[in-house]
Amino acid sequence: LLLFLLAEVSNLYCHLLLSSLRPSTTIGAPPSRPIPHGFLFRYLACPNYLCEVLAWVGFSLLTFLPLSFLFTLVGASQMLQWAQLKHKAYLKEHGDAYKKLKRRAMIPGIL
């Protein structure tokens, strides 16, 4: 239960940080994707996905239902794909400025 709650609160905080970076919408202006900083963004491009997966792991451990574990596994694989795409987009948009941060896509030190 503690894992689930901690992961959900962390996920909320990641989303609040990301929403604070949204530019005001201007018609015709291309969207800009600034590099998020702080909290788990020091290590990852998409810590919100990691927190989401950890919350589902906590939920699966609480229920201990096979379908819950399957849902967690499928969701994690999808979020990992999204994280890798976003990581590549940051590299393409920000080049060396992002590269020198040495972040991973979703799993610290691994991926």
Supply the pLDDT for residue 53.
98
DSSP secondary structure letter of residue 43: T
Contacts of 74 (CB under 8 A, 6+ apart): none
What does pTM read for this prediction? Answer: 0.88
Give pLDDT, residue 64. 97
Looking at residue 42, its pLDDT comes to 95
Give the whole-angstrom CA distance, residue 58 versus residue 64: 10
**Chain segment 58-103, per-residue pLDDT in tens:** 999 999 999 999 999 999 999 999 999 999 999 999 999 999 999 9
Rounded CA-CA distance 61/32 in Å is 39
Sketch the domain layout of the chain as residue ranges: 1-21+34-100
> Residues 36, 17: contact at Cβ < 8 Å?
yes
Report how far residue 2's alpha carbon sits from residue 28's, in angstroms, rounded to the nearest whole number.
45
pLDDT digits (tens, 9 = 90+) for 29-56: 666 678 999 999 999 999 999 999 999 9
